[in-house]
Amino acid sequence: MQTIVTFKKIDTSSALKSYVQKKLDKFDKMLDSPAEAYVVLSVEKIRHIAEITLTCDRLKINARENSENMYSSIDALMDKVKIQIKRNKEKIRRHMSGNKQSIKDEPMQPGFPQNSSDNMTTDQINIETIDYKPMDIEDAVIELDSGKQSFFVFNNARTQQVNVLYKHNNGKLGLIQPRG
């Protein structure tokens, strides 16, 4: 683990630096990828303060501890970091295990579920009825820009078919037209 130890209002101590490094090396086994740790050790009156910012791929931990002894502050800080790493790993494990679903070999049918054995119910589907009027694409663009939604359904005056005008994430517009 790449570690930077900074001392504020305290003399630089190689013993403290090596103590911090030894404590942080234990976390290498717990982390999936290489991590960087930025540790600040400081003294304010009688309080010895230890702070850390530990960054890894999907993880950023900030912690702070203080006591009357710098070694006690470091120990308490490392305990906090250990708890946060475990909590984060458990959170990721729970999140990832929720995505493991069995895949059925039967082909998927488009549309809404037809029988009650399917997982989705009509309570889970937000059904909204809209009125659409015949208009040109240019008018639909104006309506889309003036509204709060990211799409606009209209009856294309030229083709007499229902079209959907929508905004891409990059800001450009898209148009969905039925075939035939």
For 32-88, write each residue's pLDDT tens digit.
Answer: 788 899 999 999 989 999 999 999 877 888 999 999 999 999 999 999 999 998 888
Supply the Cα-derived Rg of the chain in whole angstroms: 29
Task: Dig out the tokens for 71 from the structure.
Answer: 């070694």
Q: Per residue in 74-115, pLDDT tens?
A: 999 999 999 998 888 888 777 766 544 443 444 444 555 555
Assessment of whether the complete model's pTM goes beyond 0.85: no
pLDDT, residue 141, reads 85
Taking CB atoms within 8 Å and a gap of at least 24, the contacts of 50-57 are 50/74, 50/76, 50/77, 51/77, 52/77, 52/81, 54/27, 54/81, 56/31, 56/32, 57/32, 57/33
Set out the domains of the chain in order of their start, with CATH numbers: 2-96 (3.30.160.100), 129-176 (3.30.505.50)
Q: Which amino acid is at 161?
A: Q
Average pLDDT rounded to a whole number, residues 145-157? 82
- 166 burial class (0-12, 13-18, 19+ CB within 10 angstroms)? middle
Q: Give dist(CA 164, CA 179) in Å, integer.
A: 13
